[in-house]
Amino acid sequence: MSTIPGKPARDSIPKMSDEAIDFRRQLTFLEIDESDRQRLQAIAPILKQSSTAFVEAFYRHLFRFEETARFLQDPDLVQRLKQAQQAHLESMLEAEWNEDYVEHRRRVGDVHAEVGINPRIFLGAYNQYLQFCFRRLAAAADPRTKEFAEIGLSLLKAVFFDIGLTLDAYFQHATENLQQALEMVFHANSELRQFAQLTSHDLKTPLGTMANLCDEALDEFGQQMPPAARELIAAAKNRAYRMSQTIDELLASALTSQQANGNEMFSSELVVNQAAETVRPLLDEKQIELVVAGPLPWVYGDAVKVREAFYNLFSNAAKFIERRPGRIHVNARIEGDDCIFCIADNGPGIPPEELQRIFIPFRRLPRNRNQPGSGLGLYFTKSLIEQQSGHIWVESEMGQGSRFYVLLKTDTAAGVSPH
């Protein structure tokens, strides 16, 4: 058993696993001991009586600010968050500093980091905690007593201990992301260019030769071969073409990552329509309707790269739509200086556990392993959009299709694209 510093084993906290964070040093540094826990548990009933009212007031406060209100558009989500917020506050007052408590705070930090909530917003929540707790205690106790001061100090210690645990996870998450980004930059600047030159000469040429030989074999001897043999040679030729396409995508990704970003206004409607026309043969073959809800705004960036990104998104959606009639719908909305495009389809959807992984190179859904493709299309698209200082993300439900969102910079004064 591990104990709170300064107390014997009978007042101990359950022992944590070896993998869990060691928080005893933080407890000691903040001079938190068993008396602090007893004080917090003594005032917990007083504060819990008003915890529901506090949470309602807290969320009214959040809705006053655009930077927090934008995370609170879904009423069902808001209700779940309120319940979680109330449970969070009450568990802090219960002062059961064990492994479950630590792991929960780390999960809170991970979620804040993944969603993109600024740390100062997170700290602002604790400011609201303190205001609520001190005002409620002041109304319930004589502030002239020394014990009230000790209660306040115990509460402060618990709050800053809680902050430390959760921000540990937040900054660890951010550091890991930064490290991954630095590694990608290093490889992009050194190995990808060398790899592009190597694959261009040493891989594509033999693949082309192999595909040509397969064609010659089928042309010259196809009628003499058993059907199974013809199928095997045709499959080998198709595999060669697929590998050649993969190399092309790798080369394009490596080379475009070395080029400077475009920074000029262009008609997004023109670019989207050009991308749609490029993918038109596949749309017609699969009887998929692509609808662009214009007019669309002007945006900043490199028109060629943005057109390629939209083409990838359209062709990716069309590739997996099996429903008849198939449908891809494109629209855009302006939010300040941002233009957010939505490319929605009625395809099979993406499993929840895969939503954060589909932009990883060579990542393909298990159900699509036998479909043509390299697993680089969405990675390439993400790279193209981020080169425009943009952002791409996806929402999806199984059986309900997917919605890819592309954020690009715009200028509302420039108006909308001409037809």
Q: pLDDT per residue over 261-303, tens digit each?
A: 456 889 999 999 988 988 888 888 888 899 999 789 999 888 8
Q: In this structure, is residue 191 part of a structural domain? A: no
Do residues 152 and 171 share a domain? yes
Quick one: pLDDT band at residue 7, thresholds 50, 70, 90? very low
Look at residue 103 and tell me if it is in a domain. Answer: yes
pLDDT for position 296? 92
- Which residue would you say has higher pLDDT here, 345 or 173? 345
Rounded to the nearest 5 degrees, what angle is found at the Cα of 402, between the Cα atoms of 401 and 408? 155
Q: What share of the chain is helix, strand, coil (3-state, %, to 5)?
A: 60, 10, 25
CA distance 302 to 305: 6
- Say if 188 falls within a structural domain: no
**Is 1 part of a structural domain of the chain?**
no
Stronger pLDDT, 311 or 138, i.e. the higher one = 311
% residues pLDDT > 70 (the chain): 69
Q: Is the pLDDT of residue 34 over 70?
A: yes
Any domain includes 198? no
For residue 100, CA distances in Å to 13, 15, 85, 211 come to: 11, 11, 17, 59
Residues 6+ apart with CB under 8 A from 405: 340, 341, 342, 343, 392, 393, 394, 395
Where residue 394 falls (left for φ over 0; alpha for ψ -120 to 50; beta otherwise) is beta
Q: Are residues 273 and 385 in the same domain?
A: yes
pLDDT reported for residue 314: 92
Domain membership flag for residue 284: yes
pTM of the entire predicted model: 0.43
pLDDT at 242: 63
Exposed, middle or buried: residue 48 (CB in 10 Å: 0-12, 13-18, 19+)?
middle
For residue 60, is pLDDT > 60?
A: yes
Average pLDDT, the chain: 76
pLDDT per residue as tens digits for the range 102-145: 888 778 777 777 776 766 677 777 777 777 777 777 777 665 65
CATH number of the domain at 105, please.
1.10.490.10
Look up the domain containing 84 and give its range.
9-181
Phi and psi, residue 48, nearest 5°: -65, -25
- Specify if 74 maps to a domain: yes
Q: Going by C-beta distance under 8 Å and a sequence separation of 6 or more, which residues neighbour residue 34?
A: 4, 6, 7, 11
pLDDT surpasses 50 at 233: yes
List the CATH number of the domain containing 293.
Answer: 3.30.565.10
Which has more confidence, 398 or 200? 398
* Residue 392 scores a pLDDT above 70: yes
Q: Are residues 394 and 361 in the same domain?
A: yes
Same domain, 306 and 207: no
